[in-house]
Every structure is written in structure tokens, then in C-alpha cells.
């Protein structure tokens, strides 16, 4: 199993996930007042990204929970969507117990493990996705199913599924250009501390980019969003530091005021670092643009791993952490 092959299969994963969508029975209607998506790491990023994309069309508030405990407001009027690729994520299983105690509506997205077994035994709504991959490499499965679950319950339009179908052909057309651009960016980021900025609407993409650099390239980096960073982090840019490399993720759909903010930010930041990289999303829809940037970031992280001469698949430190926790 090689990370470059898994990244190259991204559109194949989306296509296979949409095939699962077409075969998933319609869920019974649920009357809820809010939605809580639970998931961590590669299993949780789908909820983060999707909730941001649908925030301006979904009539119910969506919260993303990334810990052991559910927010206090979660109750019988909440739909809790639990996403764990392995099905054995201890934080997510703990959240499931709390969801059951509070009599919430429950839906599971998983490839197996205890989570999927419990869903089947207790007749919870669930979607089973293919297993055997590193969770972060299964983004094409898990993120699509978050869209699908929300659509299945009629909380969002089926147009998002149509957008995903169009995304496959779009990304296939752009594939060679994405790889070429990501290789150039990786070369510029080698030996640097990447600083990723985006408009708040693209925060899910920025988080994914950071996570992939962390896991695949074994590098630290950070991200922040505009306009929030204009109220705090921008003040920190006061010292020349060429070890930092700023990457700004852009979209033609960004708020005009944020467009102006980004231009002013660049004028300030370029005084203290030698280059600011701007990556513009391509695509006709918010889905296409987000998945374009995700795919770009995935390739950057792989090429960085090659330049760093590290194994992009290996996550031994996380395995050690989980083994140590299992002894408690």
C-alpha cells in the first residue's frame, strides 16, 4: 500500500462511495432540532468540511464534536452522526454511549469494528464503507457519506450529490495540473514551517491540509482563518522569519470583505517572510472547489514526505499512544 496510489484513487473512492449512496435504503424521517457529527482525525475531517459547505443551506444547526464527551445540549432532539473509519475509535465509542443515554437519534458511518456491530445489533441507521485503508486515505468515502446521510434525512438538497458526481470528472480532468502544482508547492515548503490561511468558509480544507502535512510528511504546521486571525494572530507578524512559508487558500466565492482583508494581510505579512503562496480553488461549485483544494493538499503532503525521505503511510507514534491508552 503506497500513499501516492491511494491519493491517485481519490476520484475512484468518490465514485465507489456514490455507488454505496445509490444502494443505501431511505432512512425513516426523524424530527430533530440540531445535528451533531462526531469523529476524529481522518474519520472526523469529513464532518468538518461538509458542515462548512452546507452551513448556508441546511436549516438545522450542525456541530462537530471531536472528543470523548458530547456537548451538553445534545438530547433526544439531536441527530448524532458517528463517523469512525475503523469503528474502534475510543472517543467515538464513548460518545455513542452518551448518545444512547440521552436517547438521541443515531446514525453510524464506518467500515466495521465495534461501532458498526453495535449499529447493526441495535438497528441504528448506518452506512458501511470499504475498509483496509489508513483513515485519512478514506476521505473520499467518509466525507461523501456525510453528504449522503444529511441528504438521506432530507436536511440538505440532493444537489450536493449531483455536485459530487460532477466533481469526479472535473478532478480527473485537472489531475495532471494538480500534481504538477502540488509538486512545485512541496518544493517551496521543504524545510519550512507551513502557515496555512483561508477564509473561514474554507476552514475544513485548511484543517485537512494541516493534518495531511502532519501525518504524511511528519511536519509541524499551523492554520488560521480570516477574518478571525485579523483580530489576534496578525499582530504576531512583527519579526522577519524566512523559516515560515505562508500558503493562502483562495476561492472566487469568498466574501468581498475577506478578499480585501487578504490583500491587506499580504501587505503586512510579506514584510516578514520571503514569499506568500496563493492557491486558487477551481471548480463550478463549492463542492468541486473544496475537493480540488483537498486533493491538491493531499498531493503536497505526499511530495513533502518524499522530499523529507519519510514514510507517508507510517504513524507509529499514534499507534504507540493508542497502545499505551489501552493499558489503562
Q: What tens digit of pLDDT does each residue of 215-256 get? A: 999 999 999 999 999 999 999 999 999 999 999 999 999 999
Q: What is the pLDDT confidence band of residue 91, given thresholds at 50, 70 and 90?
A: very high
Question: Domains of the chain, with CATH numbers?
Answer: 3-157 (3.40.50.10490), 171-308 (3.40.50.10490)
Which of the following is catalytic: 23, 26, 231, 327?
Answer: 231
Q: Would residue 183 show up in a list of annotated catalytic residues for this protein?
A: no
Asked if the model's pLDDT at residue 52 lies above 90, the reply is yes
> What percent of the chain stands above pLDDT 90?
95
Q: pLDDT (tens digit, 9 = 90+) per residue, 307-327?
A: 999 999 998 898 888 888 888
Segment 12-24 shows an average pLDDT of 97
Q: Would residue 215 show up in a list of annotated catalytic residues for this protein?
A: yes
Read off the C-alpha cell for 64: 462537530
Asked if the model's pLDDT at residue 19 lies above 90, the reply is yes
Predicted pLDDT of residue 111:
98
- Predicted structure pTM score: 0.96
Segment 45-74 shows an average pLDDT of 97
Which of the following is catalytic: 199, 215, 254, 288?
Answer: 215
Mean confidence (pLDDT) of the chain: 97
Give the residue among 230, 247, 269 at the shortest CA–CA distance from 194.
Answer: 247
Segment 63-74 shows an average pLDDT of 97
Q: pLDDT (tens digit, 9 = 90+) per residue, 115-162?
A: 999 999 999 999 999 999 999 999 999 999 999 999 999 999 999 999
Amino acid at each position: 500500500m503506497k500513499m501516492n496510489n491511494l491519493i491517485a484513487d481519490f476520484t475512484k473512492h468518490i465514485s465507489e462511495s456514490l455507488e454505496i449512496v445509490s444502494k443505501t435504503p431511505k432512512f425513516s424521517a426523524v424530527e430533530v432540532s440540531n445535528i451533531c457529527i462526531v469523529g476524529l482525525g481522518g474519520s472526523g475531517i469529513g464532518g468538518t468540511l461538509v458542515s462548512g459547505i452546507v452551513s448556508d443551506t441546511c436549516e438545522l444547526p450542525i456541530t462537530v464534536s471531536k472528543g470523548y464527551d458530547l456537548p451538553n445540549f445534545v438530547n433526544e432532539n439531536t441527530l448524532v452522526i458517528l463517523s469512525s473509519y475503523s469503528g474502534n475509535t475510543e472517543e467515538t465509542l464513548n460518545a455513542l454511549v452518551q448518545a444512547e443515554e440521552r436517547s438521541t437519534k443515531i446514525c453510524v458511518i464506518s467500515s466495521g469494528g465495534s461501532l458498526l456491530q453495535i449499529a447493526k445489533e441495535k438497528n441504528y441507521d448506518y452506512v458501511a464503507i470499504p475498509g483496509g485503508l489508513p483513515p485519512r486515505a478514506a476521505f473520499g468515502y467518509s466525507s461523501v457519506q456525510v453528504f449522503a446521510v444529511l441528504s438521506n434525512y432530507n436536511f440538505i438538497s440532493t444537489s450536493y450529490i449531483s455536485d459530487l458526481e460532477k466533481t469526479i470528472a472535473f478532478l480527473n480532468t485537472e489531475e495532471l495540473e494538480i500534481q504538477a502544482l502540488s509538486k512545485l508547492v512541496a518544493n517551496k515548503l521543504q524545510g519550512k514551517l507551513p502557515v496555512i490561511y483561508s477564509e473561514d468558509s474554507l476552514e475544513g480544507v485548511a484543517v485537512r491540509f494541516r493534518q495531511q502535512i502532519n501525518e504524511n510528511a511528519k511536519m509541524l504546521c499551523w492554520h488560521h482563518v480570516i477574518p478571525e486571525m485579523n483580530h489576534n494572530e496578525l499582530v504576531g507578524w512583527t519579526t522577519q522569519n524566512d523559516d515560515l512559508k505562508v500558503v493562502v487558500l483562495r476561492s472566487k466565492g469568498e466574501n468581498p470583505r475577506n478578499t480585501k482583508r487578504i490583500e491587506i494581510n499580504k501587505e503586512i505579512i510579506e514584510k516578514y517572510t520571503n514569499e506568500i503562496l496563493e492557491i486558487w480553488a477551481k471548480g463550478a461549485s463549492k463542492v468541486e472547489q473544496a475537493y480540488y483544494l483537498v486533493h491538491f493538499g493531499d498531493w503536497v503532503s505526499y511530495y513533502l514526505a518524499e522530499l523529507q525521505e519519510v514514510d507517508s503511510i507510517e504513524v507509529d507514534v499514534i499507534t504507540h499512544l493508542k497502545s499505551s491508552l489501552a493499558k489503562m
